[in-house]
Protein backbone atom coordinates (compact mmCIF):
# COMPACT_ATOMS: atom_id res chain seq x y z
CA UNK A 1 0.00 0.00 0.00
CA UNK A 2 1.31 3.46 -0.91
CA UNK A 3 1.97 6.15 1.67
CA UNK A 4 -0.59 8.98 1.79
CA UNK A 5 0.41 12.10 -0.15
CA UNK A 6 -0.54 15.59 0.97
CA UNK A 7 -0.32 18.90 -0.81
CA UNK A 8 -1.05 22.12 1.03
CA UNK A 9 -0.20 25.66 1.96
CA UNK A 10 1.72 25.99 5.21
CA UNK A 11 4.11 28.30 6.98
CA UNK A 12 7.70 27.67 8.04
CA UNK A 13 8.09 27.74 11.82
CA UNK A 14 11.90 27.93 11.63
CA UNK A 15 14.64 28.37 9.04
CA UNK A 16 15.35 25.10 7.21
CA UNK A 17 18.40 23.29 8.62
CA UNK A 18 20.90 21.66 6.25
CA UNK A 19 23.23 18.81 7.13
CA UNK A 20 25.04 16.11 5.18
CA UNK A 21 25.00 12.33 5.59
CA UNK A 22 28.26 10.42 5.99
CA UNK A 23 28.09 9.63 2.26
CA UNK A 24 27.80 13.35 1.43
CA UNK A 25 24.08 13.59 0.58
CA UNK A 26 22.38 16.85 1.57
CA UNK A 27 19.33 16.60 3.83
CA UNK A 28 17.22 19.49 5.14
CA UNK A 29 14.83 19.52 8.09
CA UNK A 30 11.90 21.84 7.48
CA UNK A 31 9.37 22.60 10.24
CA UNK A 32 5.87 23.41 8.97
CA UNK A 33 2.56 24.55 10.42
CA UNK A 34 -0.81 24.26 8.68
CA UNK A 35 -3.76 26.11 10.19
CA UNK A 36 -7.45 26.58 9.51
CA UNK A 37 -7.78 30.35 9.77
CA UNK A 38 -11.28 31.55 8.86
CA UNK A 39 -13.06 34.85 8.40
CA UNK A 40 -15.93 35.23 10.89
CA UNK A 41 -18.66 36.75 8.70
CA UNK A 42 -20.44 38.28 11.71
CA UNK A 43 -17.46 40.09 13.24
CA UNK A 44 -15.47 40.43 9.98
CA UNK A 45 -12.36 39.31 11.91
CA UNK A 46 -10.03 36.40 11.27
CA UNK A 47 -10.15 33.52 13.78
CA UNK A 48 -7.46 30.88 14.17
CA UNK A 49 -8.62 27.27 14.23
CA UNK A 50 -6.71 24.06 14.70
CA UNK A 51 -3.01 23.94 13.84
CA UNK A 52 -1.17 20.90 12.48
CA UNK A 53 2.61 20.91 13.00
CA UNK A 54 4.87 18.54 11.07
CA UNK A 55 8.58 18.20 10.42
CA UNK A 56 9.48 17.69 6.78
CA UNK A 57 12.61 16.27 5.23
CA UNK A 58 14.00 17.18 1.80
CA UNK A 59 16.97 15.51 0.13
CA UNK A 60 19.82 16.39 -2.22
CA UNK A 61 19.27 19.33 -4.61
CA UNK A 62 15.80 20.07 -3.21
CA UNK A 63 17.29 20.29 0.30
CA UNK A 64 20.02 22.73 -0.76
CA UNK A 65 17.62 24.88 -2.80
CA UNK A 66 15.12 25.02 0.09
CA UNK A 67 17.80 26.14 2.55
CA UNK A 68 19.02 28.85 0.16
CA UNK A 69 15.51 30.12 -0.66
CA UNK A 70 13.18 29.67 2.33
CA UNK A 71 13.19 31.35 5.75
CA UNK A 72 11.11 31.24 8.92
CA UNK A 73 7.62 32.70 8.54
CA UNK A 74 7.31 32.20 4.78
CA UNK A 75 4.11 30.79 3.37
CA UNK A 76 4.94 27.79 1.17
CA UNK A 77 3.25 25.28 -1.09
CA UNK A 78 4.45 21.81 -0.19
CA UNK A 79 3.77 18.27 -1.37
CA UNK A 80 5.04 14.95 -0.09
CA UNK A 81 4.35 11.60 1.55
CA UNK A 82 3.27 11.29 5.16
CA UNK A 83 5.18 8.65 7.12
CA UNK A 84 5.99 7.61 10.67
CA UNK A 85 9.58 8.05 11.85
CA UNK A 86 10.71 5.69 14.61
CA UNK A 87 13.89 5.79 16.68
CA UNK A 88 15.27 4.72 20.02
CA UNK A 89 17.07 7.07 22.40
CA UNK A 90 18.32 6.25 25.90
CA UNK A 91 16.48 2.93 25.79
CA UNK A 92 13.09 4.52 25.00
CA UNK A 93 11.26 4.12 21.73
CA UNK A 94 9.92 7.27 20.05
CA UNK A 95 7.86 7.97 16.96
CA UNK A 96 6.38 10.97 15.18
CA UNK A 97 4.53 11.79 12.00
CA UNK A 98 6.81 13.29 9.35
CA UNK A 99 6.61 14.52 5.78
CA UNK A 100 8.98 13.32 3.04
CA UNK A 101 8.98 16.49 0.93
CA UNK A 102 8.91 15.99 -2.84
CA UNK A 103 8.21 19.63 -3.79
CA UNK A 104 8.28 22.94 -1.90
CA UNK A 105 8.29 26.58 -2.92
CA UNK A 106 7.18 30.04 -1.79
CA UNK A 107 3.50 30.90 -2.08
CA UNK A 108 2.94 33.86 -4.38
CA UNK A 109 -0.30 34.89 -2.65
CA UNK A 110 1.43 37.60 -0.59
CA UNK A 111 4.93 37.70 -2.04
CA UNK A 112 6.96 37.76 -5.21
CA UNK A 113 9.78 35.44 -6.18
CA UNK A 114 12.48 35.55 -8.81
CA UNK A 115 13.38 32.09 -10.10
CA UNK A 116 16.66 31.02 -11.62
CA UNK A 117 17.68 27.60 -12.88
CA UNK A 118 20.32 25.87 -10.78
CA UNK A 119 23.24 24.34 -12.60
CA UNK A 120 24.50 21.11 -11.09
CA UNK A 121 26.95 18.36 -11.70
CA UNK A 122 24.50 16.37 -13.82
CA UNK A 123 23.75 13.54 -11.39
CA UNK A 124 20.71 15.17 -9.76
CA UNK A 125 22.55 16.60 -6.77
CA UNK A 126 24.52 19.75 -6.19
CA UNK A 127 28.09 19.43 -5.06
CA UNK A 128 28.54 20.99 -1.65
CA UNK A 129 26.33 23.47 0.16
CA UNK A 130 26.47 27.05 -1.02
CA UNK A 131 24.82 28.49 2.07
CA UNK A 132 21.95 30.90 2.55
CA UNK A 133 24.03 34.04 1.95
CA UNK A 134 24.64 33.13 -1.69
CA UNK A 135 20.93 32.44 -2.36
CA UNK A 136 20.24 36.03 -3.39
CA UNK A 137 23.30 36.03 -5.63
CA UNK A 138 22.01 33.00 -7.54
CA UNK A 139 18.72 34.79 -8.20
CA UNK A 140 16.52 33.22 -5.52
CA UNK A 141 14.76 36.14 -3.91
CA UNK A 142 11.64 36.52 -1.82
CA UNK A 143 10.07 39.82 -0.93
CA UNK A 144 6.72 41.15 0.17
CA UNK A 145 5.35 44.06 -1.83
CA UNK A 146 4.29 46.89 0.46
CA UNK A 147 1.29 47.83 -1.70
CA UNK A 148 -0.07 46.60 -5.02
CA UNK A 149 1.16 48.54 -8.06
CA UNK A 150 -0.96 51.57 -9.00
CA UNK A 151 -1.75 50.12 -12.43
CA UNK A 152 -2.87 46.67 -11.09
CA UNK A 153 -6.49 46.22 -12.30
CA UNK A 154 -7.07 43.40 -9.78
CA UNK A 155 -6.05 45.50 -6.76
CA UNK A 156 -9.54 46.76 -6.06
CA UNK A 157 -10.67 46.50 -2.45
CA UNK A 158 -13.01 43.50 -2.85
CA UNK A 159 -11.82 40.30 -4.53
CA UNK A 160 -14.06 38.85 -7.25
CA UNK A 161 -16.60 36.44 -5.82
CA UNK A 162 -16.91 38.29 -2.49
CA UNK A 163 -20.06 40.26 -3.18
CA UNK A 164 -18.78 41.93 -6.34
CA UNK A 165 -18.54 39.58 -9.31
CA UNK A 166 -17.66 42.28 -11.82
CA UNK A 167 -14.06 42.35 -13.08
CA UNK A 168 -12.23 45.62 -12.34
CA UNK A 169 -12.00 46.67 -16.01
Q: What percent of the chain has pLDDT over 90?
A: 51
Mean pLDDT of the chain: 78
Residue 36: per-residue pLDDT? 84
Residue 121: per-residue pLDDT? 57
Please report the sign of the dihedral spanned by the C-alpha atoms of residue 90, residue 32, residue 64, residue 84: positive
Reply yes or no on whether the pLDDT at 122 is more than 60.
Answer: no
Give domain limits for the chain: 5-143
Reply yes or no on whether the pLDDT at 127 is more than 60.
Answer: no
Reply yes or no on whether the pLDDT at 65 is more than 60.
Answer: yes
Q: What percent of the chain has pLDDT over 70?
A: 70
pLDDT-derived band at 147 (thresholds 50, 70, 90) equals low
Reply yes or no on whether the pLDDT at 152 is more than 60.
Answer: no
pLDDT-derived band at 86 (thresholds 50, 70, 90) equals very high
Residue 142: per-residue pLDDT? 47
Q: What is the mean pLDDT of residues 158-169?
A: 50
pLDDT-derived band at 126 (thresholds 50, 70, 90) equals very low
Q: What is the CATH number of domain 5-143?
A: 2.40.50.140
| 3-state secondary structure string across 32-73 | EEEECCEEECCCCEEECCCEEEEEEEEEHHHHHHHHHHCCCC
Q: What is the mean pLDDT of residues 46-57?
A: 91
Are 108 and 40 in contact by the 8 Å Cβ rule? The answer is no
Instruction: Supply the pTM of this predicted model.
Output: 0.65
Q: What is the mean pLDDT of residues 68-79?
A: 94
Neighbours of 57 (CB within 10 A): 17
Amino acid sequence: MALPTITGVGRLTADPELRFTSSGKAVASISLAFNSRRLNRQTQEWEDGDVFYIRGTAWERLAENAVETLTKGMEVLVSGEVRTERWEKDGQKHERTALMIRSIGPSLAFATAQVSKVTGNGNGAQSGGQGRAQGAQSGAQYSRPQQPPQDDPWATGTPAGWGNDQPPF
